[in-house]
Structure 1
Amino acid sequence: MKIAVAQLSFIIGDFEGNVKKMLKAVTTAKKQEADIICFSELATCGYPPRDFLEFDDFIRLAEEAVLTLAAAAKGIAIVAGSPSRNPVVEGKDLYNSVYFLANGKIKHVQHKTLLPTYDIFDEYRYFEPASEFQIVKYKGKKIALTVCEDIWNIGNENPMYDICPMDKMMPHQPDFMINVSASPFNYNHAKNRIHVLQSNVERYQMPIFYINHVGAQTEIIFDGGSLVMSPNGNVFEEMPYFKEQVKTFNLAEVRRGKTSRLQPKNKMKLIHDALVIGIKDYFGKLGFKKCILGLSGGIDSALTAVLAVRALGKKNVRVVLMPSQFSSDHSVNDAIDLAKNLGVQYDIIPIKNIYKSYLKELKPLFGDLPFNITEENIQARSRGMLLMALSNKFGNIVLNTSNKSEAAVGYGTLYGDMCGGLSVIGDLYKTEVFELCKWINRRKEIIPNNTITKPPSAELRPNQKDSDSLPDYDILDEILFQYIEKTQGPNEIIAMGFDPKLVRRVLRLVNINEFKRYQTAPVLRVSSKAFGMGRRMPIVGKYLS
């Protein structure tokens, strides 16, 4: 028997386009002489569909998509994820299901049992868990069908569920397992995924075909990396990251497990490729082509510009330099050098006169009050206004350039430098921004070296440096990582050797600035805990604030 794995990128709600892409893959699999082709979780409608699932019309279109695929399942079987209706009144109205289509009809449907409701996942909001566990027989083989989380209760120290669906299927003695998934990227997830699959193989002693999504859906990025596992624990094949591919495998060869192919897992390359596809798919799937961003000469906007060019092409990227009287000559020169290195259009719009006009109009109200953060924010908002004006006039989508460290402690201006349609590096700590820039420059200086080596500064007042308001980023980022990703409290972080006063100050800044993050653009997620839909904190609260 030969099984094809179709690792594809889908668009949420584009039933016609998704089915067309799947049918093309079916044709490819037939040419590869596959007996079965497997698609990912909720492939017909895209993942995650969220509240679209509450619309009867949406479910009807998903059902029609399944019937179209079933009609094409002649000479080959099709395995695909799609929502299905729960005929029982009690419980949720839908299941998250995997369909087995053969001989022109629906042969078997297995529902997902373990419904993740944490971080970015909210599946129990919509779906009823499975209560029946059957296998499907095809061409003399007995096949267990599972959906994503169904295999993730094995191979971890703190299982979240009290049931393992495969345990329920094992009495039927399946020959192999197919797992359709929508498993989002973070820079450590590929290693964890392999560990979980190997733990399943060790427990069930059978080949596993694991099919993952690839591509981005707003802030969530899917890396692909679909896996074919041999019973001896070898990774028979790990498919490419961030690329679509249809590849067919011989079950007998997989069972023998004499080969092992793994993809390299360099953290910076993974992050780079994830952010590039995140930008590319955000624009492509929404029908946008061109972006615009403010280029300050600093490292954050420089990194964002490079990633944008690699995602959209230099002709579709426009940058604007908006120096003030506080901007240094080297910052302007660094920005111009980068724009020339990238070959992008750049414009220079000084904001000194705009800033002065604001101060003039506000003088009757401000009186003789001293310069403070108000005047700094006026500069940032002037720049935001200019970017949005150019966006409105020419149709370029504004890219936000804030990093995770700044967003965490509120070191940014609402409606100013925090504006934009997509936050590109909002899940990268400042230390990771430096690391990624050095990785980009590993063979050739693309980002001016001075941009990387000079002390970070917002340049909103004379001789300003980030270190005037914030601790060194090496220290700040580790405290933030322990609090945000590792959910460690102040006592635990202090016990690691950090200054108690500093820890309490940083954690307070994180919590009191939740209102800012609530109003910002979606953040491309590359870590295990990004700001946005996966980190749900109250705006009004007293904990650590």
Structure 2
Amino acid sequence: MRDNRSYREFQENLAPMQDLTLVMAQFDPLVGDIPGNTEAAIEAVREARIEHGADIVVLSELFLTGYPPEDLLLRSSLETRLAAARQRMAEKVVKDVLVIVGYPGYRDGYLYNLAGALLNGQWLGEYAKQALPNYQVFDEQRYFSVGNEPLVLEHQGARLGLLVCEDLWESGPVQQAHEAGAEILITLNASPYHQNKQAERRALLKARAEEIQRPIVYVNQIGGQDELVFDGGSAVVNDKGDLCVQAPHWQVGVMPVRFVNENGNWVPRQGECDPDVEPEESLYCALVTGVRDYVNKSGFPGVVIGLSGGIDSALTLAIAVDALGSDRVHAVMMPYHYTADISKQDAAEQARLLGVDYDVMPIASVVEAFTETLAESFAGTERDTTEENLQSRTRGVLLMAISNKKGLMVLTTGNKSEMAVGYATLYGDMVGGYNALKDVYKTWVYRLANWRNAQEPAIPERVIERPPSAELAPGQQDSDSLPDYGTLDAILSRYIEGDMSAEAIIEAGYDHEAVYRVVSLVDRCEYKRRQAPIGVRVTPRGFGRDRRYPIVNGWQPGE
């Protein structure tokens, strides 16, 4: 009995299926360590070949230098070191694997952001990035020249079009590669994380794939570099933009995808896909990654944290323990007259809960010594925030002394809401080498604390439930000086991330007096933020690389 298949379909099913295995190598290069990154690339290709039978291995943007290399790109020895690295790869990479890797390079006197293709000891070609971003944290036009030519390589019957990161965000380079005959688009990326970035990337991949009706391979970097964090999530979508394979976020490794030629079209087979997670989990992982890589890559044996019994230091302690392990974290409670008993109890309980080294260092005698020394200079003046700040600065001195003596980095604890309005003390609670919460609004601090406790108890519940206070004066609460944090954060996000004027924020429904007070504080406190430690950047407009305002200026907040 004959079935409904045509003879042609029958013959096609009998014919051997043409396929290839592409492996996305999602790794964490160290900026400036060209020899180390080169060896990591060689090992990644070897692993991909042995474990997955890779025909193609793709690494991320500027992998050999790490991203972002910044002014290391201006060093005179750059090209010599990269030439040695490329030669090393040509000699040591396993045979019969097409390797696509990112690096910078001078060509005809101009520096380009390149994607190079290596096969059997020969560099087959280089693609120069065309779209050079110059916004948010990106400053590529400072360094690189613009490429203008597509590169399409044929390997095992597949025509591969190369792109680098921002090229995918602009339709021009994508269309150019398509018109040059690309059947599979491969893009090398160093795409930093911020909240909701993963959804933005997925929407972009879908839109571009639908435009050209071709599958897209998206390989992203992972790990922390100074304030930037890279979340991985390397992915493959089919010609309709449907997600076929996605590597885990926040994990180093290799992820294979099998392409099959069906009727002349290369189709990615369905494979593993990292599941979507709650926004709190994604953000928490970003903070852990930033702290872990900053401390480890800088060579610190551990960190020391001033543990106050408040929610910011409590969350910071949990992040530090998750990033480094309890044996590398030292917590110090430094009580004064205004430190509540419940703060002392909760700090001790959290230290016990997380298993960290814990010291109690009362500061009353030190503060009083400062006060006595300053008495003559302060004669005839009223008590004000100066005396409050002495407490904070005393704590800063003690933490830095521990840091100097033990080689531990001070992990400071201020959140973005406080940093925005200057609710922090220079050379006091702002001292330190790194700040896990620098770009985290206070409302998100509470969300993260609750999420972390839902996984496993890490923060005493009373710390989360009680009203926040700096405890620098009797009965002091944050609400004495600031609007409630829900209102404050809503105003701040509109002013900082949204670049809205004070009047526009008022028109959106916020109190006139509160808005002008908040935006005036933001503007006046730029000098403080310039002296603050760097910290993990997790919003689209963090303080630092993203937001470069003059300290001295005559701009009016209503404008």
- TM-score category by the smaller chain? over 0.9
Equivalent pair of 2:506/2:512 in contact (CA under 8 Å): yes
Q: CA, structure 1 residues 339+259, in 2 after alignment: closer, same or farther (shift >3 Å)?
A: closer
* Deviation, structure 1 residue 257: 5.5
What is the distance in 2 between the residues matched to 1:367 and 1:440? 49
Report the secondary structure of 1:150's partner residue.
helix
Report the secondary structure of 2:77's partner residue.
helix
2:501 aligned residue (482, 489, 495): 489
Equivalent pair of 1:69/1:78 in contact (CA under 8 Å): no
1:75 aligned residue (81, 87, 96): 96
What is the distance in 2 between the residues matched to 1:56 and 1:360? 55
Give the letter for the 2:30 counterpart.
I
* Deviation, structure 1 residue 8: 0.4
- Where do 1:98-109 residues align within 5 Å? 98-109=115-126
Q: Deviations over 1:179-223 (max 9, x none)?
A: 000000112100000111111100111111110000000110000
What is the distance in 2 between the residues matched to 1:169 and 1:316? 49
Aligned length, in residue pairs: 532
Identity %: 39
Q: 2:84 corresponds to which residue?
A: 64
Q: 2:128 corresponds to which residue?
A: 111
Give the letter for the 2:430 counterpart.
M
Q: Which moved more, 1:259-268 or 1:47-56?
A: 259-268
What is the distance in 2 between the residues matched to 1:123 and 1:324? 49
* Deviation, structure 1 residue 486: 1.4
* Deviation, structure 1 residue 248: 1.9
What is the distance in 2 between the residues matched to 1:475 and 1:171? 51
For the pair 1:168 / 2:176, whether they are aligned, the reply is: yes
Q: CA RMSD, aligned part only?
A: 1.4
For the pair 1:201 / 2:247, whether they are aligned, the reply is: no
1:182 aligned residue (178, 190, 203): 190
Q: Which moved more, 1:325-334 or 1:404-413?
A: 325-334
Q: Which moved more, 1:258-267 or 1:238-247?
A: 258-267
Q: Deviations over 1:158-194 (max 9, x none)?
A: xxxxxx1122222221111110000001121000001
What is the distance in 2 between the residues matched to 1:260 and 1:340? 39
Equivalent pair of 2:225/2:293 in contact (CA under 8 Å): yes
* Deviation, structure 1 residue 256: 5.6
Equivalent pair of 1:5/1:247 in contact (CA under 8 Å): yes
Q: 1:84 corresponds to which residue?
A: 105
Give the letter for the 1:67 counterpart.
Q
* Deviation, structure 1 residue 345: 0.8
What is the distance in 2 between the residues matched to 1:259 and 1:28? 19
Q: 2:6 corresponds to which residue?
A: none
* Deviation, structure 1 residue 260: 7.9
For the pair 1:11 / 2:30, whether they are aligned, the reply is: yes
Q: CA, structure 1 residues 443+151, in 2 after alignment: closer, same or farther (shift >3 Å)?
A: closer
What is the distance in 2 between the residues matched to 1:515 and 1:367? 29
Q: 2:323 corresponds to which residue?
A: 311
Q: 1:125 corresponds to which residue?
A: 142
Q: Deviations over 1:25-75 (max 9, x none)?
A: 111111121111000000001000000000021232122212222232521
* Deviation, structure 1 residue 140: 2.2
1:252 aligned residue (229, 235, 260): 260
For the pair 1:385 / 2:397, whether they are aligned, the reply is: yes
For the pair 1:287 / 2:308, whether they are aligned, the reply is: no
Q: 1:140 corresponds to which residue?
A: 157
What is the distance in 2 between the residues matched to 1:232 and 1:195? 12
The unaligned stretches of length 5 or more in structure 1 are 155-163
Report the secondary structure of 1:151's partner residue.
helix
- Where do 1:458-469 residues align within 5 Å? 458-469=470-481
The unaligned stretches of length 5 or more in structure 2 are 1-19
* Deviation, structure 1 residue 444: 4.1
2:242 aligned residue (234, 250, 256): 234
- Where do 1:376-455 residues align within 5 Å? 376-455=388-467
1:476 aligned residue (469, 477, 488): 488
Give the letter for the 1:306 counterpart.
A
What is the distance in 2 between the residues matched to 1:143 and 1:219? 34
For the pair 1:364 / 2:376, whether they are aligned, the reply is: yes
Q: CA, structure 1 residues 134+443, in 2 after alignment: closer, same or farther (shift >3 Å)?
A: closer
Equivalent pair of 2:346/2:460 in contact (CA under 8 Å): yes
What is the distance in 2 between the residues matched to 1:272 and 1:37? 30
Report the secondary structure of 1:320's partner residue.
strand
What is the distance in 1 between the residues matched to 2:398 and 2:271? 57
What is the distance in 2 between the residues matched to 1:333 and 1:371? 29
* Deviation, structure 1 residue 262: 4.8
Equivalent pair of 1:119/1:535 in contact (CA under 8 Å): yes
Q: 1:340 corresponds to which residue?
A: 352
Q: 1:159 corresponds to which residue?
A: none
Equivalent pair of 2:497/2:541 in contact (CA under 8 Å): yes
For the pair 1:54 / 2:74, whether they are aligned, the reply is: yes
* Deviation, structure 1 residue 285: 1.1
What is the distance in 2 between the residues matched to 1:346 and 1:258? 50
What is the distance in 1 between the residues matched to 2:214 and 2:514? 52
What is the distance in 1 between the residues matched to 2:219 and 2:270? 21
Give the letter for the 1:202 counterpart.
E
Equivalent pair of 1:297/1:334 in contact (CA under 8 Å): yes
Q: 1:509 corresponds to which residue?
A: 521
Give the letter for the 1:442 counterpart.
A
What is the distance in 1 between the residues matched to 2:269 and 2:205? 15
Equivalent pair of 1:234/1:259 in contact (CA under 8 Å): no
Report the secondary structure of 1:56's partner residue.
coil
* Higher alpha-carbon Rg: 2
* Deviation, structure 1 residue 266: 1.2
1:526 aligned residue (522, 538, 541): 538
In the superposition, the TM-score normalised over structure 1's length comes to 0.95
What is the distance in 2 between the residues matched to 1:533 and 1:165? 27
Equivalent pair of 2:190/2:230 in contact (CA under 8 Å): yes
What is the distance in 2 between the residues matched to 1:172 and 1:330? 68
Equivalent pair of 1:13/1:58 in contact (CA under 8 Å): no
What is the distance in 1 between the residues matched to 2:25 and 2:308? 43
Q: Which moved more, 1:22-31 or 1:5-14?
A: 22-31
Q: Which moved more, 1:404-413 or 1:488-497?
A: 488-497
* Deviation, structure 1 residue 137: 2.0
What is the distance in 2 between the residues matched to 1:364 and 1:404? 37
What is the distance in 2 between the residues matched to 1:339 and 1:498? 40
- Where do 1:314-333 residues align within 5 Å? 314-333=326-345
What is the distance in 2 between the residues matched to 1:283 and 1:84? 30
Equivalent pair of 1:41/1:147 in contact (CA under 8 Å): yes
Give the letter for the 2:533 counterpart.
A
* Deviation, structure 1 residue 258: 5.6
Equivalent pair of 1:234/1:260 in contact (CA under 8 Å): no
